[in-house]
Amino acid sequence: MRLLGLYNYWIVVGLMMIGFYTMISRGNLVKKLIGLTVFQTSAMILYISVGKVRGGTAPILLDRADVLYSNPLPSVLILTAIVVGVATLAVGLALVVRIHEAYGTIEEDDIHVQDDAP
């Protein structure tokens, strides 16, 4: 029962490993960046899940005293992480466009073949 209560975290592990596997097993550079995004998002879900209080509400203060609020701090961290994540993605995609201009392909093994050719 205790392990069932950690359902959010089990899914986080699953998503994180899907992202990780996409990154290291696929040769296409865009697909690798998609894997990176899935990985990042799973870390965000982990943090937000830690901050949730059962029966709580969003941390926007009300005039009543008897309200239970969820933790605001994970939200603050993850807001920063989302924006930094999209900045990383933008630079990564720009690199992909550059690699495509220089090599004519975005498949990792084709790029290695061209690099090894004399």
Partner 1 sequence: METAIDVTLLALLGLTGIALLRVYNLVTAAMLLAIYSLLCASLFTTLDAVDVAFTEAAVGAGVSTVLLLGTLALVGREEKRPLKRQALPLIMVVVTGAALVYGIADIPPFGAPDNPAQQHVAPVYLQESEAATGIPNVVTSVLTSYRGYDTLGEVTVIFTAAVGVLLLLATGRGRGRGPDDG
Q: Which of residues 50-109 bind partner 1 (CB under 8 A)?
A: 50-61, 68-76, 78-80, 82-91, 93-98, 100-102, 104, 106-107
106 within 8 A of 100, measured Cβ to Cβ:
yes
Nearer to partner 1, 53 or 112 (CB): 53
Please state the closest distance from residue 115 (CB atom) to partner 1, in A: 15
Nearer to partner 1, 37 or 116 (CB): 37
The length of the chain, given as a count of residues: 118
Distance CA 116, CA 73 (A): 49
Q: Is the dihedral of CA 79, 85, 88, 92 positive or negative?
A: negative
DSSP state of 54: T
Map the footprint of partner 1 across residues 1-60, applying CB under 8 A: 2-3, 5-22, 24-28, 30-31, 34, 37-38, 41, 44-45, 48-60
Please state the closest distance from residue 104 (CB atom) to partner 1, in A: 7
Nearer to partner 1, 5 or 118 (CB): 5
Please state the closest distance from residue 118 (CB atom) to partner 1, in A: 16
Q: Which residue has the tokens 């550079």?
A: 29
Vertex 100 angle, CA 29 and 114, to 5°: 90
